[in-house]
Structure 1
Amino acid sequence: MAFDQVKPLKGYELVMEQLKGRILSGEFAPGTKLASVVDLAASFGVGRSTIREALSALKAMGLVEIRQGGGTTVCLELPKEPGSADGAALFANAQSIRELLEVRKILETGCASLAARNRTGADLRSIEEELLQMETYLHDEAKGEEADVRFHLKLAGATHNSLLISMMESMSERLHDSMRESRKLWFYGERAEANRLLREHSDIFEAIREKDETRAFGAMMSHLGKVEGVLHKAIAEAENGER
């Protein structure tokens, strides 16, 4: 008699499933603020790192929002079919943005380099505005994401190359989708702080300000490479989970 192999759940998965069940049942209604990491750890009898992994997994499913210093809140709009934090759903999300990321690496590194060569003082002020917006909305994911997209589009504008500008503008909607999904994977895979993303954009800006084409190219490649690393990790974990 053959049986399907059973994969034992990790500690954070057990916590995540309990919280997920209470959210989907309505016990934790949309907008509800969850207990602190310290209190949840005490309630479940686990370490804080286990709680953080569980919350990051719920964030990847679109069930909660996590704000540094603001705690964790159940999303006001829950997905109709919340996926799994790992396995097929996460694998699909990673695969769906990998090709776009490959295009971005080719296109945006060139944009950064050319912007460093051609930018004007007005371009610098315009790009810096979005950098300041990203800092202002460091813990507001939606507004921070919008400023992030505008930063990349204005950087393309600083190239003063009409074809590059047109290509970036045509990708605007996909850029939104890419950044939204990669941020979910980023926070699930590494729980990286928003400050790191801000620093990476600041490095790109400073290179353009200094008219350093090589440094601008490298800073953009490094930024996109970090996201690519998270995607590869997500895909590898998903593939291992399917075996």
Structure 2
Amino acid sequence: MYIIIFGGIVVAFRRVEARKGSELVLEQLKNMIETGDYAPGSKLPTVVELADSFEVGRSTIREALSGLKATGWITIRHGGGSYVSLELPAAEDAASLSFGKEKLQEVLEVRKFIEAGCAELAAERRSAEDLAALRDILERMGGALGDEAASDEADIRFHLRVAEASKNALLLSMMESMAGRLRESMKQSRRLWFFAERASAEQLLAEHRSIFEAIETRDGAAARDRMMKHLLKVEQVIERSERSGQDERDERGRTE
């Protein structure tokens, strides 16, 4: 709040926060879907076409599409474009799926401390049964590269199974207690990863396989380091995505 005195009169002003370009684009696209301009199942224009239409940078469009995907309005096929969801979310459903970067950052901070320790203990204590279960999950991840929902579910199962292999009931309980937050954070971080890094699902799968190999060979230090590196990379992608959005806003401010 700012206090300014005009002619002896004290006037209080509240700061007006400028809305991000991606938020404005997201809102307009969502309205176009709601009003039927883009029907369920229809394909949206490309990122380049949308950037030209809205006169914004491609990073702004990608961030807007990421938000629409996170809230269930669109689906994105890697290499195939963006499509309006066949089943549109109710208002309350869309709100519940919104997972902002600040909350995502908090979950990642907790995950780093818990999951690095889980991976190290899993390497030391894992059983043949644990390895078989992790192998099965990795196979499912490999077979679900084109299926977003199945990929997300296999991802969270892998991390929970690593916690189970740690043979520490408290660590497993902590992971299970935050399963809901874990699921939403994974969905959102994977989407930011694909947009910001242009990474493929195969790269994500390779990181999980690398963690598994360290657990399989009972290399606790490598398991801990690879899990931490995996989570740090996700964190860096989120930070770069935010910086990219800020750069876009700064550039727009200089040209206005």
TM-score exceeds 0.5: yes
> Are the counterparts in 2 of residues 56 and 187 from structure 1 also a CA contact under 8 Å?
no
Q: Which amino acid aligns with 1:80?
A: A
User: Secondary structure of the residue that 1:66 maps to in structure 2?
Assistant: strand
Say whether 1:96 aligns with 2:103. Answer: yes
Which SS does the other structure have where 1:26 is aligned?
Answer: coil
- Higher mean displacement: 146-155 or 130-139: 130-139
Q: How does 1:141-160 map to 2 (within 5 A)?
A: 141-160=148-167
Counterpart-to-counterpart distance in 1, 2:26 and 2:184 = 25
Match of 1:28 in 2: 38
Matches of 2:224 and 2:160, distance apart in 1: 16
The answer (yes or no) to whether the contact 1:153–1:169 under 8 Å persists in 2 is: yes
Q: Could you say which residue in structure 1 is the equivalent of 2:8?
A: none
What pairs up with 1:33-72 in 2 under 5 angstroms? 33-34=43-44, 37=46, 54=61, 57-62=64-69, 63-72=73-82
Q: Structure 1 counterpart of 2:37, which letter?
A: E
CA RMSD of aligned residues (A): 3.5
Matches within 5 A, 1:218-229: 218-229=225-236
Aligned to 1:185: 192
Deviations 1:185-219 (A, max 9, x none): 32343332211211111111111111111111111
- Given the superposition, is the C-alpha separation of residues 192 and 57 from structure 1 closer, same or farther in structure 2, using an over 3 Å criterion? farther
Aligned residue for 2:115?
Answer: 108
Residue 3 of structure 2 corresponds to which residue in structure 1?
Answer: none
Q: CA deviation at 1:54?
A: 3.2
Q: Give the TM-score of the pair, scaled to structure 1.
A: 0.76
Which secondary structure state, in structure 1, belongs to the residue aligned with residue 100 of structure 2?
helix
- In the comparison of the two structures, how many residue pairs are matched? 224
CA contact (8 A) 1:145 1:176 kept: yes
Q: Output the TM-score relative to the length of structure 2.
A: 0.73
| Distance verdict in 2 for CA 1:53–1:140, change over 3 Å | farther
Look up the SS of the partner of 1:201 in the other structure. Answer: helix
Amino acid paired to 1:74 = V
Structure 2 residue identity aligned to 1:30: P
Kept in 2, the 8 Å contact 1:116–1:208? The answer is yes
Is there any run of 5+ residues in structure 2 with no aligned partner, and where?
1-15
Tell me: CA distance 1:79–1:237, structure 2 relative to 1, closer, same or farther (3 Å).
farther
Specify the code of the residue in structure 2 equivalent to 1:28.
Y
**Which deviates more, 151-160 or 25-34?**
25-34
Query: Does residue 73 of structure 1 match 2:87?
Result: no
Q: Post-superposition shift, 1:180? A: 1.6
Q: Spell out, residue by residue over 1:143-183, the C-alpha distance to the aligned partner (whole angstroms, 9 max, x if none).
A: 11111111001111111111111111112111111112222
Q: Deviations over 1:98-120 (max 9, x none)?
A: 11111100000010011011111
Secondary structure of 1:72 counterpart: strand
Q: Which runs of 5+ in 1 are unaligned?
A: 84-89
Deviation at 1:17, TM superposition (A): 8.1
Cα distance, 1:96–1:16 mapped onto 2, change above 3 Å: closer
Aligned residues with identical type, % of pairs? 43
User: Displacement, 1:61?
Assistant: 2.4
Taking the aligned partners of 2:90 and 2:194, their CA distance within structure 1 comes to: 18
Aligned to 2:131: 124
Larger Rg: 2
Residues 30 and 78, structure 1, Cα contact 8 Å, conserved in 2: no
Per the alignment, in what secondary structure is the counterpart of residue 61 of structure 1?
helix
2:75 alignment partner AA: E
